[in-house]
Chain A
């Protein structure tokens, strides 16, 4: 039977014409045997496009969520807001207990910084402190560039109608030193001013003092007074004497550079 089948199937052979047509068909289908490589190139192209989109997405996310400027607000609650390049708040951090409490109640993330400042100024506790003649300092921290100047100008505009408010500009280096001391930028600046008058002052001593208390202490020492160290045991309670003015700082929205 095997022999029969050999004789039966042997004459069935692929015709040369069929083979030629098949070779031509394959050449056409594979674009002369480069089709799949072209396909691979396409895959590479798609992969590159996807990678670019991913990078743009991640880059966009990075651009949006990276603060390039910060606004430090000190009265006694001390908080800092990170501001992205679009002028929107991307982070809110409290630098003392009151600051943390305030930051937890604020709903200003991803909002414009002027809106955020208005919200802070309208907070009941802040409004009460300001009405009691407490001093607020607002420090704009960032590179000495156009955006910082613009934000500082915006902050000043917000503070125009408010009393006892000081606006400053500070560099990122100052902020790093402030954070290292556990102080917000505005308070750190006041601390440096105070330390010039009394080298024994430590950041811990001023951390929970109100800005008004620090200011009054500076004024007192500037006038040749003595520090009443007992006041640090009752942080934030009472004042430390009254002195003269506030040096060359400008009140109500005028910046000190």
Chain B
């Protein structure tokens, strides 16, 4: 088990990343808090020895994505959130980017991870493939299709490369 000091350091260092990934997938604060706590509990109990900060961050990203997917596998949960709840999330965002947020959130779930990891965390396709455990070509395909879908939703006002 990891020490309290190590755990608090990890929370301070990676909590925003975990929180954003939750935001990409989940539609309410209760689920977000549930996953947030689950991820760090797994971290505390894990005996994985991290080679570097990047390794540690990649591990937390993978655990968060998997935890979100597990939560969303519950059919009823994924189908009982109202539209009001969905638009509650972007209210914390800058007003100028609400349309971008809605466009991202309207993407199928499998595209949202790669969009976030590529455009915000600046991971390359090979790095993303290692983190999410998918083929590099699959990641390229997911990125291309997501760009295409975002372009369709947001128009040509953005640079998509």
**Is the beta-carbon distance between B1 and A37 smaller than 8 angstroms?**
yes
Q: Interface code B1-40, partner A: CB below 8 Å = 1, 0 otherwise?
A: 1011001100110011011100100000000110011001
Chain A binding site: helix, strand, loop or mixed by DSSP?
Answer: helix
Which residue on B lies nearest to A39, using beta carbons?
A: B1
Question: A32 to B7, alpha carbons, bound, how many Å?
Answer: 12
| The stretch of A6-14, A150-158, A176-184, A222-230 that contacts the partner chain | A6-14
B101 within 8 A of A: yes
- Chain B, interface size category, equals 35 or more
Q: Check if B19 sits within 8 Å of A33, measured CB to CB.
A: no
- By CB atoms of chain B within 10 A, which of A2, A13, A26, A30 has the most? A26
Which of B4, B45, B101, B160 contacts A27 (CB under 8 A)?
A: B4
Any A CB within 8 A of the CB of B92: yes
Residues in A1-53 with C-beta less than 8 Å from chain B: 1-2, 4-9, 11-14, 18-19, 21-23, 25-27, 29-30, 32-33, 35-37
- The reply on B65 being an interface residue by CB < 8 A is no
Q: Is B41 among interface residues, defined by CB-CB distance under 8 A?
A: yes
CA distance A1 to B161 in the complex (A): 7
Q: Taking the complex as formed, is B140 at the interface, i.e. its CB lies under 8 A from any CB of chain A?
A: no
Question: A26 to B7, Cβ gap below 8 A?
Answer: yes
Q: Assess whether B160 is in contact with A1, with CB atoms less than 8 Å apart.
A: yes
Are A14 and B44 also in contact (CB < 8 A) when A7-B97, A36-B1 are? no
Asked whether any CB of chain A lies closer than 8 Å to the CB of B159, the reply is yes
State which size class the interface on A falls in.
20 to 34
Q: Are A18 and B119 in contact (CB under 8 A)?
A: no
Chain B residues with CB under 8 Å of A29's CB are 41, 44
Judge if B100 is at the interface, Cβ distance under 8 Å: yes
Q: A18 to B22: give the CA distance in the assembly, Å.
A: 13
Complex partner residue of A21 from B33, B94, B115, CB under 8 angstroms: B33
A33 to B44, CA, bound (A): 9
Q: Is the CB of A12 within 8 A of B161?
A: no
Which residues from chain B contact A12 at a C-beta distance below 8 Å?
16, 19-20, 23, 92-93
Known A-B contacts A8-B93, A14-B15; A36 and B45 likewise in contact (beta carbons under 8 Å): yes
B-side contacts of A26, CB under 8 Å: 7, 37, 40-41, 44
Residues of B within 8 A of A5 (CB): 100, 115-116, 119-120
Is B158 interfacial (CB-CB < 8 Å)?
A: yes
Write out the residue numbers on chain B whose beta carbons fall within 8 Å of the beta carbon of A25: 37, 41
B131, CB-defined interface residue at 8 Å: no
Question: Which of A8, A13, A33, A35 sits near B100, CB closer than 8 Å?
Answer: A8
- Top 5 nearest A-B pairs (CB, nearest first) are A14-B15, A5-B119, A36-B1, A14-B19, A9-B120
Interface CB pairs A-B, < 8 A, 18:
A1-B147, A2-B120, A5-B100, A5-B120, A8-B104, A12-B93, A14-B15, A14-B16, A19-B11, A19-B15, A22-B33, A22-B36, A22-B37, A23-B7, A26-B7, A33-B7, A33-B44, A36-B45
B contact residues vs A (CB 8 Å cutoff): 1, 3-4, 7-8, 11-12, 15-16, 18-20, 23, 32-33, 36-37, 40-41, 44-45, 92-94, 96-97, 100-101, 104, 115-116, 119-120, 122, 147, 150, 158-161
Known pairs A21-B33, A25-B41, A36-B45 / 6 extra A-B pairs, C-beta < 8 Å: A8-B100, A13-B19, A18-B15, A27-B4, A30-B1, A33-B3
